Structure 1
Amino acid sequence: MVLVVLGIDALDPELVDATDHPNLTLDSHRSIETINSVEGEPSTHELWPTIITGLTPEDHGLKLDDGVAWENPLLRYGSAAANYVIPDGLQTRIGAWLLNNTGEDAFRVPATYYQKNGISTVFDGREAATIGIPNYVVDPENEDREHSLRRNLGDLFERNGNAPGGHTSADPVAFYEQCLEMSMVRLARARRALRGGQKELVFAYTSGLDLIGHVSYDHPTLQMQAYGELDEFVGEVVGDLREDDELLLVSDHGLQDGVHTHEAMVAGTSPRLVEEIDSVLDVRAAIEAELRHRDHSGPDGESLSIEDNDAVTSQLEDLGYM
C-alpha cells in the first residue's frame, strides 16, 4: 500500500472549487496556515524543508536573508557580511541579475544537509521515493526535466522588482506551456513510483502552478486554465490508486495577482488525512500518522502488473523524459 503526497507549489485554497476541480479538492480539503519569511511573504525555499521536517525555518536553518534575491547559491557565501555593506535595494538588483543570467538553481540543497545537522525528516527509516522536493536533493549531480526547464527559462521568466508580481515573461503563453510540461514530468514520475508498488511513501513536488501565477497578473485566464489542466493531471494519479492507497495534496502558500498569499491548503482522499493539519508545521506529523495507521509497506505488497508499469514508462519515453 502506498501513500502519495503531491506538493503543488502555490495551490491556493481560494482558487479551487470542488465542482470544477474535483481532483484538487479530493474527498476533503481545507485551508491551512503558512509561515512568512523575513521579507513578509511565504518562501518556497524555506517552506518545503518545514513541510518535510515539521520545523520552523529558524530551527531547520534554511532561511532567506533577502527574499528571492538571495536564493541563488552564488550568494550564499558571504551573504551575511553583504548585509552590512550592500544596501537592500542593491542586494535585490544583484540577486535579480544573478537569477536572470546564471544557470544556477535556487532550491538545490542536498539531502545530506539534514543528517549533517542532526535534523530528521519524514523520509527517515522509510522506503520512500522523493521527487523534486526543493532543498532535499538526493542526487545533486542529476536533474530531471523540470529542473532543466526551470534552470533555462531565460527571458520567459525574469525577476523584475517593478512588475506587480515581481516577475515578467517575454511570452506568457509559451511560458505557460513550458510550466505545464514541468508539472507533467513530476506527476508522471509520481505515477511511475506509485505503480511500482515498492515504496510506502511517494512524495513528489512541482512548481509549474507557482511559476504561471507569478506572470499571469495580466493574464488571469492563464492561471485558472492551469488549475483546470493540473486537475486533470492529478486525476491521472487518482486513477492509478489502488483500493488501499491514499493521496495527499499539499501547498506551501497561495498565489493571487502575481503575489504569494498567506494561506496554504491540503486535500486528501480521506478526511483522516487532513483533519489534523492546521498549518504547514503539521504536515509531517499527519503523514507519519497515516503511515502508522495503515500498512503502507511497499516491497512485500502487491504491485501493478508489468504491463501497467510499462504503460507509464512508455508515456515518459514518448515525452523524452526517460
Structure 2
Amino acid sequence: MVLVVLGIDALDPELVDSTDHQNLTLDSHLSIETINSIEGEPSTHELWPTIITGLAPEEHGLKLNDGVAWENPLLRYGSAAANYLLPDGIQTRIGAWLLNNTGEDAFRVPATYYQKNGISTVFDGRDAATIGIPNYVVDPENEDREHSLRRNLGDLFERSGSAPGGHTSADPAVFYEQCLEMSMVRLARARRALRGGEKELVFAYTSGLDLIGHVSYDHPRLQMQAYSELDEFVGELRDDLHEDDELLLVSDHGLQDGVHTHEAMVAATDNRLVDDVGSVLDVRAAIESELDAHDHDGSGRGQRLSMGQNDAVTSQLEDLGYM
C-alpha cells in the first residue's frame, strides 16, 4: 500500500467541478484555509514548508520579506541592508529585476535546513520519495526538467508590478505548452516512484497550473484548458494505483484573474484522508495519521507490474527529456 500526495500549486476549489474534473476532485474534496504572507496574499515560498511541517511561517522561518525572493541565498545579505535602506516598493522592484535577470530561484532551500534548525517534517522516519517540493530540496546540485524550464523562462514569464497578476508573458501560448510539460514531468516522476514499489510515501509537486494562472488574466480559456489537461494527467496516475493505494491532492492557494486567492483545497480517494483537514496547517497530520493507521508498504509492488507497464512510464520520461 502506497500513499501518493500530489501538490498542485494554485489548484482552486472554485474552479474545479466534480463532473468535468473527476480526477482533480477524486472521491472527496473540499476547500481549506490557507495563510497570507506579509504582502497580503498566500506565498508559495512560505506555504509548502508549512504543509510539510504543520508549522506557520513564523515558526518554520521561511518567509518572504517583500513577496519576491529576499530569502534567496544570493540576496540574503543584501536583503538585511535593504530592509533598513530601501522603501518596500523599491525592494520589490529590485527583487523582481534580480529574478528576471539572474538564474536564481526563490524555492531552493535545501532539506538540510530543517534538521539544522530542529524542525521536523512529514518525511522524518519515513521511506519517502520527495519530488520537486518547494524549499525542500534533497539534492541542490541537481534539477529536473520542471525546475530547469522554470529557471529559464526568460520573457515568457516576467514579474511586472503593473500587470493584473504581477506577471507578463511575451507569448502565453508557448508559455502554456512549457508549463504543461513541467507538469507532465513531475506527474511522470510520481508515477515512476509509485510503480517502483520501494516507498510508503510518494510526495510530488508541480507549479504548472500556478504559472499559467498568473499570465492568463487576459486568456481565461488557457487556465481552464490547463485544468482539463491536468485532470487527464492525474487520471493516468490514478490508473496506476492499486486497490489499496491512496491518492491525496493538496494545493497551497487558489488563483483567479492572475492573483492568488485565499482558499486552498484537498481531494482524496478516501474521505478519511481529508475529513479532519481544515487548513494547510492540518495536511501534515492527515498524512501521518494515514501512514500510521494503515500499512503503507510498497515492497513487492514492482514485481507485480508487467514489463509493458514499466516501459510505458519509462518511455514517457525519455520523451520528456528526463531520462
Same fold (TM over 0.5): yes
* Match of residue 231 from structure 1: 231
2:54 corresponds to 1:59: no
* Match of residue 317 from structure 1: 318
Correspondence 1:266-281 to 2 at 5 A: 266-281=266-281
* Match of residue 198 from structure 2: 198
Alignment check: 8 A CA contact 1:200 1:296 kept:
yes
Alignment check: 8 A CA contact 2:252 2:264 kept:
yes
Q: CA deviation at 1:69?
A: 4.7
Q: Any idea what the Cα deviations from partners look like across 1:101-142, whole Å, max 9, x if unmatched?
A: 011111000000000000000000111000000000000000
d(CA) in 2 for partners of 1:27 and 1:112? 36
Q: CA deviation at 1:213?
A: 0.2
d(CA) in 1 for partners of 2:276 and 2:85? 45
Change in Cα spacing, 1:303 to 1:81, as seen in structure 2 (3 Å) is farther
The alignment covers a number of residue pairs equal to 322
* Match of residue 43 from structure 1: 43
Correspondence 1:148-167 to 2 at 5 A: 148-167=148-167
Q: CA deviation at 1:300?
A: 5.4
Secondary structure of residue in 2 paired with 1:77: helix
Correspondence 1:123-142 to 2 at 5 A: 123-142=123-142
Alignment check: 8 A CA contact 2:145 2:321 kept:
no
Comparing 295-304 with 31-40, which one deviates more in the overlay?
295-304
Q: CA deviation at 1:74?
A: 2.1
Change in Cα spacing, 1:82 to 1:226, as seen in structure 2 (3 Å) is same
Comparing 88-97 with 33-42, which one deviates more in the overlay?
88-97
d(CA) in 2 for partners of 1:167 and 1:248? 30
d(CA) in 2 for partners of 1:261 and 1:80? 29
Q: Any idea what the Cα deviations from partners look like across 1:128-160, whole Å, max 9, x if unmatched?
A: 000000000000000000000000000000000
Secondary structure of residue in 2 paired with 1:76: helix
Counterpart of 2:312, as a letter, is A
Q: CA deviation at 1:246?
A: 0.2
d(CA) in 1 for partners of 2:110 and 2:151? 17
d(CA) in 1 for partners of 2:320 and 2:212? 21
Alignment check: 8 A CA contact 2:129 2:201 kept:
yes
* Match of residue 262 from structure 2: 262
RMSD over equivalenced CA pairs, Å = 1.1
Q: CA deviation at 1:310?
A: 2.5
Q: CA deviation at 1:303?
A: 4.7
Secondary structure of residue in 2 paired with 1:309: helix
Alignment check: 8 A CA contact 2:195 2:301 kept:
no
Comparing 300-309 with 28-37, which one deviates more in the overlay?
300-309
Change in Cα spacing, 1:102 to 1:298, as seen in structure 2 (3 Å) is same
2:68 corresponds to 1:68: yes
| Structure 1 gaps, min length 5 | none
Alignment check: 8 A CA contact 1:27 1:270 kept:
yes
Secondary structure of residue in 1 paired with 2:118: coil
Comparing 291-300 with 210-219, which one deviates more in the overlay?
291-300
Counterpart of 1:254, as a letter, is G
Comparing 255-264 with 294-303, which one deviates more in the overlay?
294-303
d(CA) in 2 for partners of 1:69 and 1:320? 29
Alignment check: 8 A CA contact 1:195 1:303 kept:
no
* Match of residue 19 from structure 1: 19
* Match of residue 178 from structure 2: 178
Counterpart of 1:139, as a letter, is D
d(CA) in 1 for partners of 2:278 and 2:99? 33
Q: Any idea what the Cα deviations from partners look like across 1:213-253, whole Å, max 9, x if unmatched?
A: 00000000000000000000000000000010000000000
Report the TM-score when normalising by structure 1: 0.98
Secondary structure of residue in 2 paired with 1:81: helix
Q: Percent identity?
A: 86
Moved over 6 A (4+): none
Alignment check: 8 A CA contact 1:72 1:95 kept:
no
d(CA) in 1 for partners of 2:232 and 2:298? 27
Alignment check: 8 A CA contact 1:198 1:303 kept:
no
| Structure 2 gaps, min length 5 | none
Correspondence 1:39-118 to 2 at 5 A: 39-70=39-70, 72-118=72-118
Change in Cα spacing, 1:172 to 1:71, as seen in structure 2 (3 Å) is farther
Alignment check: 8 A CA contact 2:69 2:106 kept:
no
d(CA) in 2 for partners of 1:297 and 1:125? 14
Alignment check: 8 A CA contact 2:196 2:302 kept:
no
Report the TM-score when normalising by structure 2: 0.98
